[in-house]
Amino acid sequence: MIRKAIASDCEQIADIYNNYVLNTTVTFEVDPVTAEEIAERQKKSLCFLVYEQDGCVLGYAYAANYHSRAAYRYTAEGSIYLKNGIEGRGMGTLLYEALFIAAKELGIREMIGVIALPNQSSEALHQKLGYRKVGVMKRCGFKFDQAVDTSIWQRSLLREHG
C-alpha cells in the first residue's frame, strides 16, 4: 500500500537510503543519515510517500522544492528509493505515479528528476513515466574517487502523459 510517510517510518527509510549513500553514486551524499535527519526532511518536503507491505517500508518517494526562488514555486524535484533487492517489480512506477498525483494536488506543474550516471534502470523508469531528458551535467559530482555525471529529466504534470 502507498501512503503518506509518518514519523515511525523514519528508521526504515534511513536504512533504505543509507544503502545508496554507502554503496552507490545514486546519491551524492557521502555520510549515512539518521532517522532524525529523515524526519526533518519529511517535514521540509512537499509530499513524502512510502510503499508499505506487511508493516515493512519497501520504498519511498518525495517531492521537494526545486529551488527557493519564487519563480520556481510550481516546480518540484522528485526522488525515489527502493529497498535493495526489490527493484524491477513495479513499485517504483506505483510510487512515482502516486507522487505525481500528490504533487499536482499541491499545485506543482513540473517535476524534475536528477539521475547520477550511469543508471540505465532509473533513466528507463523516468522515460516510461513521461519524463523527457533535457540535459547532462558533466562531472558535477565526485564520489568514491571518481567524477560522476548527472542527467536532468523533466515531466509536466499539466498533461496526462508527460
Residues 52-100: pLDDT tens digits? Answer: 999 999 999 999 999 999 999 999 999 999 999 888 788 999 999 999 9
pLDDT value of position 1: 95
The hierarchical CATH code for the domain 2-113 is 3.40.630.30
Q: How far apart are CA 126 and CA 77, in angstroms?
A: 13
Q: How many residues can be counted in the chain? A: 162
Cα separation values, 14 from 11, 44, 56, 104, Å: 5, 16, 13, 26
Ranges of H-type helices in 9-139: 10-23, 35-44, 91-105, 120-128
On the question of pLDDT at 161 being above 80, the answer is: no
pLDDT at residue 89, rounded to an integer: 85
Instruction: Give the global pTM.
Output: 0.93
Domain-by-domain residue ranges, the chain? Answer: 2-113
Share of the chain above pLDDT 70, in %: 98
